[in-house]
Homo-oligomer: A and B are copies of this chain.
């Protein structure tokens, strides 16, 4: 097993001894998935020493397979000259992503150490918004002039086969003198034509192009509609600047789902790895918990307002946390359905009334079922029918509130341009707690003589 402490110890020792060959060989001998795990187990300094020791290409390969937050931490800690060598070994898309996440100062230092042409390319990529076609595209692509022949293209592909293997080539583009794409060449068609054929004969003319500012949602829709694997990206002057691949857009969408998961779990959408420094992990989690403590105190103030009732019917204190937790769960289910439907494009933020109707119906059924259940438990446990009616009735009403609100909050936040995954949970639980406590305690106050 790769989480073998002996292996990690041996690797640490070889890194310490600066034995580059042996370290490279030890890593190569491991399956790729295990390499990330082993490196994760080294301390920060050793990770940085390792990346400096091995060839930049090998370092780039390892860093590309790691969670991005970890790769950035490592690059942040090493000499900019060496970091530049490693970043030059990434493809342009990944290089820009990584450079964009580093501190500005560090990014500048690294760009200063890169080959002038590579640095200029990277700066260009960095200027694009991360979620736009420009941010998702890669600047490696095949382009030939209008005068090219099939023979010339295949000749070029043969000569540069090594380099092009990394390009993930499916199409070649034909560009005019102003670098504007005027045609697409499918590899398949090259295969079926004689060398003397002009590319203009077999290219598909007037290719669909996307502007670099097109957003990820729109790109995803376009790929769904048209079924292409890649699309040429153009600048304001309609010049070809890159190619955006369907799989990059899909990957970005998948990452968004994963981010939503972290946000809903109170981790603010930032990836946390246990190998990160304790202070970072603790601080990130606290930033959300300390807001939550405030919201909790607000909600609990409703209880404080009914201390007289509580003093007389102390059994109510047993049921307050139950009402709070159950309503939170019912509401969270509705929140999750809305976040998912928003992500899948099955609901639009304006359709709040439709969602309200749908959720209210579920809320009523589930409210009646859960209220009756809790009411019966209360009756059996505490032997007071009135108490059962109060507790069950409160849960019933509050389930309807929680489910309806849970369905609508994400749509409302989306309309306000706020992040549904981040804010829906806290808003939901604060409101449902307040309502829930109010329902139980005000109803109890009304029938107080029957409860004492």
Q: Mark A336-374, 1 if CB is under 8 A from B, else 0.
A: 110011001111101100110010011001100110011
Contacts A293-B373, A293-B374, A366-B289 given; does A157 touch B36 at CB 8 Å? no
**Does A117 sit at the interface, judged by CB under 8 A?**
no
* A7 close to chain B: CB less than 8 A: no
Closest to A334 in B: B285
CA distance A240 to B303 in the complex (A): 68
**Which bucket holds chain A's interface residue count?**
35 or more
A97 contacts which chain B residues (CB < 8 A)? none
Does A267 lie at the interface of the complex (its beta carbon under 8 Å from any beta carbon of B)? yes
What are the residues of chain B within 8 A of A187 when measuring CB–CB?
187-188, 191
| Minimal beta-carbon separation of A451 from chain B (angstroms) | 14
Q: Is the CB of B322 within 8 A of A325?
A: no
- Kindly provide the distance from the CB of A319 to the nearest chain B CB, expressed in whole angstroms: 7
* A32→B222 CA distance, assembly (Å): 8
A433 nearest in chain B by CB position? B321
Stretch among A17-25, A85-93, A118-126, A256-264 lining the B interface: A256-264
Q: How far is B275's CA from A347's CA once the two chains are assembled, in angstroms?
A: 11
A303 / chain B contacts, CB cutoff of 8 Å: 317-318, 321
Q: How long is the Cα–Cα vector from A274 to B319 in the complex, in angstroms?
A: 31
User: Chain B nearest CB: distance from A415 CB in Å?
Assistant: 14
Given contacts A274-B341, A282-B366, A362-B281, contact A265 B332 (CB under 8 A): yes
With beta carbons under 8 angstroms apart, the residue of B224, B278, B321, B377 that contacts A362 is B278
User: Which residues of chain B are near A266, meaning CB under 8 Å?
Assistant: 329, 332-333, 336
Query: Min CB distance, A439 to chain B, in Å?
Result: 14
Give bound CA distance, A354 to B3, whole Å: 11
**Is the pair B293, A326 in contact by a Cβ cutoff of 8 Å?**
yes
Contact B290 A370 (CB under 8 A): yes
Contact between chains at A310 and B317 (CB < 8 Å): yes
Instruction: Please pick, from B224, B260, B293, B300, the residue contacting A65 in the complex, using a CB distance under 8 A.
Output: B224
A292 neighbours in B (Cβ, 8 Å): 325-326, 329
Contact of A273 among B37, B221, B346 (CB under 8 A): B346
Known A-B contacts A265-B336, A311-B314; the reply to A31 vs B191 at CB < 8 A is no
**A60 CB to nearest chain B CB (Å):** 14
A72 interfacial contact with B, CB 8 Å: no
Q: Does A416 contact B (CB under 8 A)?
A: no
A192 within 8 A of B: yes
Which of B192, B275, B333 lies in contact with A158, CB distance below 8 A?
B192
Residue among B274, B316, B370 making CB contact with A337, cutoff 8 Å: B274
| Contact (Cβ within 8 A) A285 B362 | yes
Q: Does A106 contact B (CB under 8 A)?
A: no
3 tightest Cβ-Cβ pairs between the two chains A and B? A265-B336, A317-B317, A254-B254
Other A-B contacts than A278-B362, A285-B362, A304-B318, 17 sampled, CB-CB below 8 A, are A33-B224, A36-B346, A154-B191, A257-B258, A265-B335, A267-B337, A274-B346, A274-B354, A282-B361, A282-B362, A286-B369, A289-B330, A290-B369, A300-B318, A304-B315, A311-B314, A317-B317
A-B contact pairs, 25 of them (CB 8 A): A31-B221, A32-B224, A33-B345, A65-B224, A157-B188, A157-B192, A254-B257, A257-B257, A261-B264, A267-B336, A267-B337, A272-B337, A273-B346, A278-B358, A282-B365, A285-B330, A286-B366, A288-B329, A296-B322, A300-B318, A303-B321, A311-B311, A321-B321, A321-B324, A325-B433
